[in-house]
Amino acid sequence: MLAARGDVSIPRILILPMRVLPLWPVSLGLSALARRILQAHPEILSRIDKYQSKGFALDITDLPFALHLDPARAAVRAWPRGAAPPADARISGTLAGFLAMLHGVEDGDTLFFSGALQIEGDMSAVLALRNALDDAELDLGAEVQRALPMLAPPLRAAIARFERLTGLPLRRPDLSEVY
């Protein structure tokens, strides 16, 4: 079973190497993925409309760094915890909570009201972003496989295995598996 209500955390064995990882390759990789997603799903930017220029702090509490999302530039930058630039809105919670919401495993409102995700700042901007991502029905596993087509078969197997080992939802569940 995949994460419910964001209650799964990243295994410590995976967090330790992240503590010494330089943040610039994380930023480059996440920004490249964001650009790819926005090219494949241009409706995301049109859906967030006037909030495109807003900055979003993504405080994934079980990662040793914080993220800053700039939708207009399709940029995601990793920052040392506590050193991220000011943002118009801040969303915090576990990686499992973020992934569960992104992949439709859990409803964003449920995660918010249960306390699994916390929101500060411009609530309208967060709702616009959340609704745009919900409507796009993103699947990060599939997006990464499309970005690296030569590695798609081993990535598919690695993603499935990682999901089983950690309980983290790295892809959108097949509805036939749920019902």
pLDDT for residue 179 is more than 80: no
Task: State the CATH number of the domain containing residue 116.
Answer: 3.30.1050.10
Residue for token digits 């997603």?
37
Is the pLDDT reported for residue 129 higher than 60?
Answer: yes
Neighbours of 40 (CB within 10 A): 15
Q: Work out the average pLDDT over 133-160.
A: 90
Q: Is residue 149 part of a domain?
A: yes
Question: What is the distance, to the nearest Å, from the Cα of residue 98 to the centroid of all Cα atoms in its chain?
Answer: 5
Model pTM above 0.85:
no
Q: How many domains does the chain have?
A: 1
Identity of residue 29: G
Amino acid residing at 39: Q
Answer whether 156's CB lies under 8 Å from 146's CB.
no
Note the pLDDT tens digit of each residue in 10-44: 777 777 788 888 999 999 999 999 999 999 999 99
Q: How confident is the model at residue 8 (pLDDT cuts 50, 70, 90)?
A: low
- Model confidence at 87: pLDDT above 90: yes
Confidence (pLDDT) at 30? 93
- Band of pLDDT at residue 122, cut at 50, 70 and 90: very high
- Asked whether residue 132 is assigned to any structural domain, the reply reads yes
Residue 147 lies in a domain: yes
pLDDT-wise least confident of 84-88, 93-97, 117-121, 171-175: 171-175
Helix (H) or strand (E) holding 90: strand 89-93
Query: Which tokens belong to 40?
Result: 């494949």
Domain span including residue 104: 12-178
* Element spanning 92, H or E: strand 89-93
Q: Is residue 128 part of a domain?
A: yes
Average pLDDT over residues 142-167: 89
What phi, psi does 61 have (nearest 5°)? -65, -20
Is residue 120 domain-resident?
Answer: yes
| 103-113 residue pLDDT tens | 888 888 888 88
pLDDT computed for residue 3 by the predictor = 45
109: which residues sit within 8 A by CB, 6+ positions away?
A: none
Strand-pair partners of 77: 68
Question: Is position 7 within any domain?
Answer: no
In a domain, 5, yes or no: no
**CA atoms of 76 and 36, how far apart (whole Å):** 12
pLDDT in tens, 130-142: 999 999 999 999 9
Does 137 map to a domain? yes
